[in-house]
Amino acid sequence: MHSDQPAPVSAANRDQIDALLDQAFAAYEQGQPDQAQAHFKAVLALDPRDFDALHMLGVMTMQKRALPQAIELFEQAIAADPEAGMAYTNMGIACLESGQTERALACFDKAVVLEPSVEAFYGRGAAQQSLKQWAAAEASFAQVLAAQPGNVGALINRGHVCLMLQRFDEAAACYEKAIAIEPNRPAAFAGLGDALLSTQRFPQALAAYDRSLALKADQPDLLGNRASALLKLKRLPEAISCYEQALKLAPRHAVILSNFSGALREAARHVEALAMADRALEVEPQLGGAHMNRGNALLDLARLDEARQAFAMARQAQPDDVEAQWALGWTSLLAGDWATGLPLFEVRWRKQGFSSEPRGFSQPLWLGDTDLRGRTILLHAEQGLGDTLQFCRYVPLVAALGAKVVLEVQPPLKNLMRSLAGGCQVVARGEPLPAFDVHCPLMSLPLAFKSTPSHLPAPDSYLHPDPSLVHALAERLGPRTQPRIGLVWSGNAAHRNDANRSLPLATLMSALPAAGVQYFCLQKDIREADLPTLKARPDILRLHDVLETFDGTAALVEQMDLVISVDTSIAHLAGALGKPCWILLSRVPDWRWLIDRADCPWYPRARLFRQTAWGQWDAPLQDLAAGLPASLAAMSASR
């Protein structure tokens, strides 16, 4: 009868094999790999299934980076002894290093059952990390650290995994422990920098990155992250230089190219930002962040249709990304496509850094989809005063649907909002709310009423200042002998778009007549840079006490023949009061002003004067100056 089983090893051969193995291990431990290999091969000549010889030849072959041959030897060793966990561990290492990650994980899974060693758990964690099995990898590295708390490699890798799990404080703790044990590990400082960057500790992140670079200079990924920290610290020129260094090392690194595009945008280098995003997409066509940065650059260039296409591509690449949905919605609104934009505008509540918090009411959200007759609806303000002034126009429409309306607004607007038609109950934010059945944020009302630029409520006026304040102010100002023009040239300096929307007072005054007009300052806060201009122009009246309250400001606006304003709440106040208002806008303004039109669908008596190039006020001010004489003549004739 034929059998495939090898012949048993004789006692004499066994003695010879044992002697050869002793010599082989001794040679290996003494750093004589060639002699060790010769002895192990001699063992296999006597017994082709000897586990020790097969396993050690596999180890030595792996050390020479001959990974396919090493894997084959480990397979033979496992066939000789299927219960040998260390063979599975070493085969897993060889598979991992040769890119066979799933096969490596299967080997490590077997190894930790047969022989649960530190090496097996470490290898399993590394394989799981490569397969983006973050939670499983964290558990494996935790097993290593339970046995060896000072294992620096495991600390660093557990830190990396905690980063991916967004457990940033734990990640930082891992890196700090690793640094305490081995202070010269660049990867530990790099990871610590990433953890600190993710928790917005930007100066500390920058310091960690610099420590890592001091230990190892050529790290393109780290340089890219260091540039991000510099951006957050408003050190834009240094950030740009850092991106350039990173790209010298890795000119086709898609993420760095994409992030560099964002930095160039912040530097108002919009054409270069677009080119950089295009380079990123040449390398990685499905990189969502690059599509976003491309869309932002196109938006800055006022190429709205292309920008919307880019944001749609970003959304396709990252369907759950709130920023992509927001950008597509916002740009669609700016382009006048409100059917697309308004539903997407609802993601604002999930947008990082959004200026208002979701209210968390238990009552249902109303978006025009249910009957309001006999019900009480809470309409609540969000974001800034200008937003409330603009969107409170919908309150009478809601009341007309048969609802009792409770309107919650910012405290400075409470009295003014009582002048709205529709008989709503006005509550200041922070005061107790009455019972209500449904609620709606004010800026969701255009969606509820399916508004479009050509179909929205736009009465000449819908708010009215306190008559007693108006009368008192009229008495104080005396007879009107010249046209009165109210001025607003800057808004809140902390506003994210302030650099684009505000201008120096001197720049504005250079476009306005020096005589024949009575000017009024309508803004409460004056920047230090504008004080010399105000001092040199005593004809610009500042009624400090009147501007202390919004009611006083509204009464003062009521006295004006014309308001000239940048995009601030006063522009909305003038529009809501029905006063002529000329609004100076940046090249790409807020969506509500739409694009490339001089009229405003929200405010019938408003005129829009737009920049034609980023940061350049010359063109809109020239247009404003050209239109002013005829308007002043009409004002004088009407007195």
pLDDT at 501: 86
Q: Exposure pattern of 239-266 as b/e (b: 16+ CB <10 Å)?
A: bbebbebbbeebeebbbbbbbbbbbbbe
Across the range 277-305, mean pLDDT stands at: 97
Given this model, what pLDDT does residue 639 score? 65
Q: Which CATH architecture has domain 11-229?
A: Alpha Horseshoe (1.25)
Specify which residues 487 forms β-bridges with: 521, 564
pLDDT of residue 4: 52
What pLDDT does 514 receive?
Answer: 87
**CATH class assigned to 467-638:** alpha beta
Of 477, 497, 495, 496, nearest to 486 by C-alpha is 477
Quick one: what percent of the chain has pLDDT higher than 70? 98
Instruction: Confirm if 258 and 293 have CB atoms less than 8 A apart.
Output: yes
26: pLDDT confidence band, cut at 50, 70 and 90? confident
Residue 2: pLDDT over 60: no
> Which value, to the nearest 10 degrees, does the dihedral of the CA atoms of residues 368, 371, 376, 379 take?
10
Mean pLDDT rounded to a whole number for the chain: 93
Confidence of residue 3 (pLDDT cuts 50, 70, 90): very low
Which of the two residues, 387 and 49, has the higher pLDDT score? 387
Residue 25 CB neighbour total at 10 angstroms:
15
User: What pTM was estimated for this model as a whole?
Assistant: 0.85
Residue pLDDT, tens place only, 609-621: 999 998 899 999 9
Which band of pLDDT confidence, cut at 50, 70 and 90, is reported for residue 1?
A: very low
Q: Could you give the percent of the chain with pLDDT greater than 90?
A: 82
CA-closest candidate to residue 221, choices 198, 202, 193, 199: 193
Residue 232 has pLDDT above 80, yes or no: yes
All structural domains of the chain with their residue ranges? 11-229, 270-350, 376-448, 467-638
Residue 6 reports pLDDT greater than 70 = no
Any idea which fold 270-350 has?
A: 1.25.40
Q: Which two tokens stand for residue 416?
A: 């003014």
pLDDT at 62 over 80: yes
Query: Does the pLDDT at position 11 exceed 70?
Result: no
Range 567-583 average pLDDT: 97
- Adjacency order of strands within the sheet including 484-488: 540-541, 518-521, 484-488, 562-566, 581-585, 606-610
- Predicted confidence (pLDDT) per residue in 79-124, tens digit: 999 999 999 999 999 999 999 999 999 999 999 999 999 999 999 9
Q: What residue type is 350 in one-letter code? A: R
Of 212, 207, 202, 210, nearest in space to 178 by CA: 212
The pLDDT score that the predictor gives to residue 8 is 65
Which one has a higher pLDDT value, 492 or 450? 450
